[in-house]
Structure 1
Amino acid sequence: MGLMNRIRPGQSQSDNVTTTNVSTISETPEAVTSFANDDKDPASKSPEDGLHGDDAKSANEVPTEAAQSGVQNIEAVTLTWTKKSLIGIFISIWFVYLLNAFQSSTVGGFLPYVTSDFGSHSLLNVIDVVASSMTAAVFIPLAKTLDLWGRAEGFLIMVGFCELGLIIMAVSKNLSTYCAANVFYQVGFTGLIYTIDVVTADATNLRNRALAYAFTSSPYMISAFAGSYAADKMLADIGWAWGFGIFAFIMPLVCAPLYLLLTLNLRKARKQGLAKKEPSGRTLQQSIWYYLIEFDALGVFLFAAGLVIFLLPYNIASSAPHGWSTGYIIAMIVVGFILLVGFALNELYFAPVPFLKFHFLTDRTMVGACLLDLTYQISYYCWNNYFTSFLQVVNYLSVAEAGYVNNTFSVVSGFLLFLVGWGIRKTGYFKWLLWIGLPLYIFAQGLMIYFRNPTGYVGYIVMTQIFISIGGSVFILCMQLAVLATVDHQHVAAALALLNVTGTTGGSIGYTISGAIWTNVFEKALRRYLPESALPNIVDIYGDIEVQLSYAKGTAERIGIQKAYAYAQTRMLAAGTAIMCLSFIWVALIRNHNVSKMSQTKGNVF
């Protein structure tokens, strides 16, 4: 769970009180709305601006009546909390991001050794395909949870998933148990960051949101090197299982302040009469049916199952008894495809409350941003999963050193996010940054193809990572800002959920492409480059990074392994670079919104 697709912004704070032009917010919850210029004083606005003067003021002193209860509750909170509470929220968010950044960096160092302990180093992508596909299916129900139940409730549920995943990981004794735990772990931490990003959007106006996201994402600069060092020490001294156990202990302590701040301020809002807790009037059976419909349980199942079953064969076909002709490989592809078609038909014609908000897809900015995220994630994860393994085997780096190189993105982008956020705040526009970042990103990824060889200097790889970080910093903020600029406050969670669904699905596809290339290319390359004396051990070499590292520098076996890595990685990078070229079309679709003239939130926000 790297920075590039988990940074989904964080925030900052200020005394600005933004006002929402009520006339621009549709009474229909599903409507995608635009926002009026809020530069003018409310009293001076013309009649077509909607409410004005005292009417506008009173409308902005109460939560939006047409919004769902979770949105009304958070608006009540921002209308009643103090500046100290606002600052406390951002500090709490910063520490949760710090925990996520540190565990992400550390666990990234564990993973090749966890799978190698189970003799399955080459199944890295299989684990991530399953977890990413399940995670992609969670965002929309989680958005519903945040809107129907509340931000604090959704946050608490995700903390529970994190805890469950970490504990099961710590005690897992086989790959299947670890894989199941990894699903809970990735769903939990990805959902946790998504929830925090929604809260950040609740507590900021659009003009400052990119800067605020930069602030809450800044812990990645701290954890990049510390996490890699910790992974190295834990593997050497206490083992990866205790590493997961330590994070399971720390997790509740770090997350408690944010949960308490949200719940205590909601209680305060209820005492002041701005938030109400009304009984549903439903029986238990009626409530179960109601939430099954609201969360589109059938759609979630069809999407998650279809994505996993359809993508998995591309990672395991090479190890099947008869390759692509194996019966269960063909069956999985067919069944997965049928489930995905069934999902589409269910969403279009049968679901009372669709999993996806199809009306969002009528807005070209939403479509462009989501497709950019999809392409970006596919491109990145085509090659990244075996990057640290490559650095250790080919460039002779330690676990910590490989982590430092891999986390170049985290360090550089952590700083550049502030510059991007500042640029957006000063100009009010963000699209110009995309036209700068996109060509640079493609150029840098193309350079990695040239420098990814056994005789290459690792410093050149670091240089390309810096260039990639510049482009990534732009994508991270601008994609989120683009989707948020197309909706009202009622649909913030849904818009971010749609962006996360497409991005995480892109990650799954990227893992699948990477796995397909790896399983179909790497072992064949090993047979080509290894000396005949090493061929009897090819299964162990293929499946265990520690066996790969056991061959001394300069030996025929080590050189053969290095050449096989370079051969496979070059093809992964070529695929990722080619796919990323589609992004020029997606950026062209995005409107050049002036976010400084848009209002979305209420109360004491940054």
Structure 2
Amino acid sequence: MATGGEPIRDGETLNVDKAVEAGLPPVVNTTNPVDNDDSTFTSGAQDGVKKMEATTMVWTKSHLIAAYVLMWFVTFVDAMQQGTSGALTPFVTSSFMQHSLTAYTGIMANIIGGVIKLPLAKVLDIFGRPQGFLIMTGFLVLGLIMMAACNGVQTFAAAQIFYWVGYNGISYTISVFIADTSHLKNRGFMYAYVSSPYIVTVWITGPMATAFMTGPGWRWFYGAFVFVTLISCIPLVVLFWLNYRKAVNAGLIVPTKSNRTLVESIKYYTIEFDVGGLLLLMGGLVFFLLPFSLFSYQDGLWESPLVISFFIIGILMLIGFVLYEKFIAPKTFIPYQLLLDRTVLGACVLSATLFVSFYIWNAYFSSFLLVVSGVNLTEATYVQNIYSIGSCFFSLIVGLLIRWTGRFKFIALYFGVPVTMLGVGLMIHFRQPGVPIGYVVMSQIFIAFAGGACVITEQIAVMAATDHQHVAVVLAIEGMFSAIGGGIGSSIAAAIWTGMFPKKLAEFLPAESQGELMNIYASLPTQLSYAKGTPTRLAIEMAYGESQKWMAVGGTTVMVIGLVSVMFWRDINLKNFKQVKGRVI
């Protein structure tokens, strides 16, 4: 542990002179940082960063340990919640007779959930880490409430937006917490530690999904986790808030008011958060990606007026975003000097391609396991969660390897990306009817171990290229690329599925089942209602195999871009790399 001075005893209040006498840093005025002596804090850091650095200077070793225990617990609850929700989603969409929209429900949620990290980074840097964490908890809880009460796929999709904004925001804020409280050489291992609950929850989510589906129903699952989420998140907020107050009492920070009027505050934060650019970027991405999943429902398919207009609006909004940021925006939320850094940009491109690939091959995977492999819901979640358990387990090894060598590029270049390509490529052949499920499991293990290496190294890469002030921003940019990649991947998967699966069903179904084509296409329970070995079930399995083959092809091909992007990384040595202040790991 590194420490920035003896911690202040609870309840002790120090003025400037007493703080200096006690060996603590001088008072910091958070409103006028230019007037401060920044030797104690990161030079030019915003208020939220300084508040966090002050917090780490006064908290005790036991509070630091408690923070990591609570972060692990929050991740445990989120992982259990997200894994179970993923297993239940096909049944939610099928309950409204729209199983084909399973991938569609998450497209906008993934995009907005990732892009929202940029303004969230501003919240964390300007107001503070606990404040941002609390806001994201509110979004997640609201999403759960909406899903519990939804009456259609449209409402469920809207609820997914709130849910994923909150889920991604909580995960992102915890990532920033870890960056604030750990040395860079140890950070990979600490990220792996906080992600380790996925090793445990993989055995819980399947039985939990089964229990709710055979018991009270999926609505009760979402309702129950409203309370579980609040119970898990609030203690972490309280811990950071108490230590922040301790820093204030110690004289490290003197909170002051801005004296701005309401109108002036609105104008100030509109500029600080670059609201115009954010709306153009999110709107452009949503309009551009939605047609991939909606085209099959239009009379003219790709030539329908709705699809064409969405593409045009999306492209114009994205062009408008670039022009607005370059010529109009008083303050841009993406620092170009960081984005153009080859290590940062390369890591972001890898992040995007990983998510494009994952969301292409993973879409409808649980449905494939149920229908084609013939496993039950619990067994399907075990297979589908091999990625979670394997990547989290192997990331612990990668974190230790980075700490030992001080290097990270070689892990991604010679193991992470190539083995990911191998695993996804094998699924082209193995994700077919009649293939033993053991081969599918083997492919998943390859992807899982390689994925753990890629995720840890890409996060370390973006942070190694900057200082503490910009850690939240570069992590937000990396998260934005991940979300965009997820949105693109989901859109491509939906396009392949909606364009190929019903066509192949029509081709393979026996004459007596042709009248049920749309019901089979729309409902997972209907697909499962035909017994294994019957002509109709065989036809459904063949249609799955054809569709899944091309999803695996797409997921493999896109990883070539990821391999090239890693080649551009700088080979940075993390040993003796000092980035954070205070009592840290």
Farther off after superposition, 356-365 or 204-213: 356-365
Q: How far apart in 2 are the matches of 1:136 and 1:129?
A: 11
Query: Could you say if the C-alpha distance between residues 237 and 600 of structure 1 is closer, same or farther in structure 2, counting changes exceeding 3 Å?
Result: same
Q: CA deviation at 1:18?
A: 8.0
- Give me the whole-angstrom Cα distance separating, in 1, the residues matched to 2:188 and 2:307: 44
Q: Which amino acid aligns with 1:212?
A: M
2:25 — aligned with what? none
Q: Tell me, in whole angstroms, the C-alpha distance in 2 between the residues paired with 1:420 and 1:60.
A: 35
Structure 2: gaps spanning 5 or more residues: 6-35
Matched, 1:111 2:89: yes
Match of 1:188 in 2: 166
| Counterpart Cα distance in 2 of 1:61 and 1:88 | 29
CA distance in 2, matches of 1:355, 1:544: 43
Deviation at 1:64, TM superposition (A): 3.1
1:490 aligned residue: 469
Tell whether the 8 Å contact from 2:142 to 2:162 is kept in structure 1 after alignment: yes
CA distance in 1, matches of 2:42, 2:349: 31
1:159 matched to 2:137? The reply is yes
* Unaligned residue ranges in structure 1 (runs of 5+): 1-14, 20-57
Q: Deviations over 1:343-394 (max 9, x none)?
A: 1111122111113221112311001101111111111111202100000000
Please list, as runs of the form range in 1=range in 2, the aligned pairs for 1:355-504 lying within 5 A after superposition: 355-434=333-412, 435-504=414-483
Q: Deviations over 1:389-414 (max 9, x none)?
A: 00000011111110000001111222
Match 1:227 to one of 205, 213, 220? 205
Letter matched to residue 271 of structure 1: N
Q: CA deviation at 1:595?
A: 1.0
Structure 1 letter corresponding to 2:2: N
- 1:15-94 matched pairs, under 5 angstroms: 15-17=1-3, 62-64=40-42, 66-94=44-72
CA distance in 1, matches of 2:481, 2:388: 22
Q: CA offset at residue 61 of structure 1?
A: 7.8
Corresponding letter in the other structure for 1:372: L
The one-letter code matched in structure 1 to 2:357 is: S
Partner of 1:550: 529
What's the CA shift for 1:60? Answer: 8.9
Shift of 1:135: 1.4
- 1:319 offset after TM fit, Å? 1.2
Q: 1:48: which partner in 2? A: none
Does the CA contact (< 8 Å) of 2:280 and 2:318 recur in 1?
yes
Alignment partners' CA distance in 1, 2:540 and 2:325: 48
Partner AA of 1:449 in structure 2: I
Q: Does 1:290 align with 2:268?
A: yes
Partner of 2:79: 101
Give RMSD over aligned pairs.
Answer: 1.4
CA contact (8 A) 1:169 1:177 kept: yes
User: Is the contact between residue 375 and residue 579 of structure 1 (CA under 8 Å) also seen in structure 2?
Assistant: yes
8 A Cα contact 1:18 1:600, kept in partner? no
Alpha-carbon distance, 1:178 to partner: 1.0
Residue pairs, 1:562-577, within 5 angstroms: 562-577=541-556
Residues in 1 aligned to 2:568 and 2:256: alpha-carbon distance in whole angstroms:
43
Pairing 1:591–2:577 present? no
Deviation at 1:588, TM superposition (A): 0.5
Aligned partners of 2:359 and 2:344: how far apart in 1? 23
**What SS class does the counterpart of residue 334 from structure 2 fall into?**
coil
The letter for the 2-side match of 1:557 is T
For residues 523-560 of structure 1, the C-alpha deviation after alignment (integer angstroms, 9 at most, x for no partner) is 00000111011111111100110000000010000000
What percent of counterpart residues are identical?
A: 42
Match of 1:527 among 498, 506, 518: 506
**Aligned positions of 1:289-308 closer than 5 A:** 289-308=267-286
Q: 1:16: how far off?
A: 2.6
How much does 1:562 deviate? 0.2
Q: Which residue is equivalent to 1:31?
A: none
Q: 1:601 aligns with which of 565, 573, 580?
A: 580
Q: Which residue of 2 aligns with 1:513?
A: 492
| Equivalent residue letter for 1:521 | M
Partner of 1:267: 245
Q: Kindly indicate whether residue 112 of structure 2 is the aligned counterpart of residue 134 of structure 1.
A: yes
Do structure 1's residue 122 and structure 2's residue 108 form an aligned pair? no
SS of the residue aligned with 1:581?
helix
- CA distance 1:59–1:474, change in 2 (3 Å): farther
**Distance in 1, Cα, partners of 2:253 & 2:63:** 17
Work out the CA distance in 1 between the residues paired with 2:319 and 2:356: 21
Contact 1:144 1:295 in 2 (8 A): yes
Distance verdict in 2 for CA 1:345–1:148, change over 3 Å? same
Q: Distance in 2 between matches of 1:530 and 1:355?
A: 53
What is the rounded CA distance, in whole Å, between the counterparts of 1:196 and 1:398 in structure 2? 34
For the residue of structure 2 that corresponds to 1:464, the secondary structure is: helix
Deviations 1:54-78 (A, max 9, x none): xxxx989833352100000000001
What is the number of equivalent residue pairs in this alignment? 554
**Inter-partner Cα distance in structure 1 for 2:188 and 2:251:** 32
The reply to whether residue 541 of structure 1 matches residue 527 of structure 2 is no
CA contact 2:501–2:544 (8 Å) conserved in 1? yes
1:276: Cα distance to partner? 2.1
Q: Retained in 2: the 8 A contact 1:521–1:568? A: yes
Partners of 1:200 and 1:213 within 8 A in 2:
yes
TM-score (normalizing by structure 2): 0.93
* Cα distance in 2 for residues equivalent to 1:476 and 1:73: 28
User: Which of 299, 306, 316 matches 1:338?
Assistant: 316
* Alpha carbons of structure 1 residues 18 and 456: separation in structure 2 relative to 1, 3 Å: farther
Contact residue 42 and residue 468 of structure 2 kept, 8 A = no
d(CA) in 1 for partners of 2:343, 2:377: 41
Encode CA deviations 1:449-469: one digit per residue, 9 max, x unaligned.
Answer: 111110000011111111101
The secondary structure found in structure 1 opposite 2:518 is helix
Q: Name the CA distance, whole Å, in 1 between partners of 2:54 and 2:339.
A: 30
**Given the alignment, which residue of 225, 247, 255 partners 2:225?**
247
State the alpha-carbon separation in 2 of the partners of residues 161 and 491 from structure 1: 25
Q: For the residues of structure 1 that align with 2:102 and 2:4, how far apart are their CA atoms?
A: 46
Distance 2:416 2:141 in 1: 37
Secondary structure of the residue aligned to 1:67 is: coil
Q: Is the CA contact (8 Å cut-off) linking 1:101 and 1:219 kept in structure 2?
A: yes
Q: CA deviation at 1:173?
A: 1.1
| One-letter identity of the residue aligned with 2:229 | M
Q: Distance in 1 between matches of 2:165 and 2:491?
A: 19
1:55 corresponds in structure 2 to: none
Distance apart, 1:500 and its partner CA? 0.3
Q: Residue 61 of structure 1 contacts residue 79 of structure 1 at CA under 8 Å; is this kept in 2?
A: no
Indicate the SS of the match to 1:603. Answer: coil
**Partner of residue 15, structure 2:** none
C-alpha separation in 1, matches of 2:153 and 2:192: 37
Answer yes or no: is 1:176 the counterpart of 2:154.
yes
Give the Å deviation of 1:87: 0.3
User: In 1, Cα distance between the equivalents of 2:352 and 2:391?
Assistant: 20
One-letter amino acid of the counterpart of residue 486, structure 2: G
